[in-house]
Amino acid sequence: MVEKGRNFQFYIIIFIVFNLILLSICNKADEKETKNGKDEKWKKKNIRDYSEADLERLFDQWEDNDEDELEEDELPEWKREPPKIDMSKLDPSKPEEMIKMSKKGKTLMMFATVSENPSEKETEKITSLWHTSLFNAHIDTQRYVVGSNRVIFMLTDGSKAWEVKDFLTQQERCEEVTIEGKSYPGKGQKSEESSDKKNNVDSSKNKIKDKSKK
């Protein structure tokens, strides 16, 4: 009788354990189904209705599905390994060289000003010639006219900005180039200053002539 009781208890325990396992499996299946349902609902959303969380989830999925490792130069700039600077090759007396090295492989914007108060159409024409010359010299830039006499040159390799500056400042109609807040006078600025001086001299001569006539 005692033996039968023990057997009965054993079967009861087995039955309970089996039900617990079955319940656990069912719960996991329900969770998966719910999650899949949510995923399907999320995927059907209009992209204009995406929240920040949706966009983040989309980006995570895109990264998970991206099996191929991108090359260094194909990565977005903020993910690239910063270039290593050999401090032993830098001359402390030339801070510009240090800035130049630190901008290698980084996007940089520089400004150029066209002299003689041009119209925006004239600025477009003049700076287009500069842009073409830089392209022919294998310097990749993007150009944006941002005013009647002002233009932005954007470089993907900022270390070349000073090379671009050297070219631009030698152009007859370049008044000024600005990189990282520092201005460099161009040929156009010198010619404008010479023109102003000439006008002042001519004005003074005319005043003297007028006085002598009186």
Task: Write out pLDDT tens, residues 14-26.
Answer: 666 666 666 666 6
Task: Give yes or no: residues 204 and 109 share one domain.
Answer: yes
Helix, strand, coil percentages (3-state) for the chain, rounded to 5, are: 60, 15, 25
- CATH at residue 129: 3.30.70.260
Q: What is the pLDDT of residue 2?
A: 47
Q: Report the b/e string of 161-181 with b at 16+ CB within 10 A.
A: bbebbeebbebebbbbbbbee
Q: What is the pLDDT of residue 176?
A: 97
Task: Give yes or no: residues 51 and 121 share one domain.
Answer: no
Task: Give yes or no: residues 14 and 42 share one domain.
Answer: yes
**Domain region containing 82:** 76-214
- Rounded to the nearest integer, the mean pLDDT of the chain is 75
In this structure, is residue 69 part of a structural domain?
A: no
Task: Give yes or no: residues 43 and 101 share one domain.
Answer: no
DSSP per-residue codes, 124-187:
HHHHHHHHHHHHHTT--EEEEE-SSSEEEEEESSGGGHHHHHHHHTTSTTEEEEEETTEEEE-H
In this structure, is residue 64 part of a structural domain?
A: no
In this structure, is residue 68 part of a structural domain?
A: no
Q: What is the pLDDT of residue 157?
A: 92
Task: Give yes or no: residues 39 and 89 share one domain.
Answer: no
Task: Give yes or no: residues 120 and 180 share one domain.
Answer: yes
Mean pLDDT in residue range 33-56: 60
Task: Give yes or no: residues 45 and 81 share one domain.
Answer: no
Task: Give yes or no: residues 97 and 20 share one domain.
Answer: no
74: pLDDT strictly greater than 70:
no
Task: Give yes or no: residues 117 and 47 share one domain.
Answer: no
Domains of the chain: total: 2
In this structure, is residue 70 part of a structural domain?
A: no
Task: Give yes or no: residues 145 and 188 share one domain.
Answer: yes
In this structure, is residue 169 part of a structural domain?
A: yes
Task: Write out pLDDT tens, residues 117-149.
Answer: 999 999 999 999 999 999 999 999 999 999 999
In this structure, is residue 63 part of a structural domain?
A: no
Q: CA–CA separation, 48 vs 54, rounded Å?
A: 11
In this structure, is residue 108 part of a structural domain?
A: yes
Task: Give yes or no: residues 202 and 140 share one domain.
Answer: yes
Task: Give yes or no: residues 98 and 190 share one domain.
Answer: yes
201: pLDDT strictly greater than 60:
no
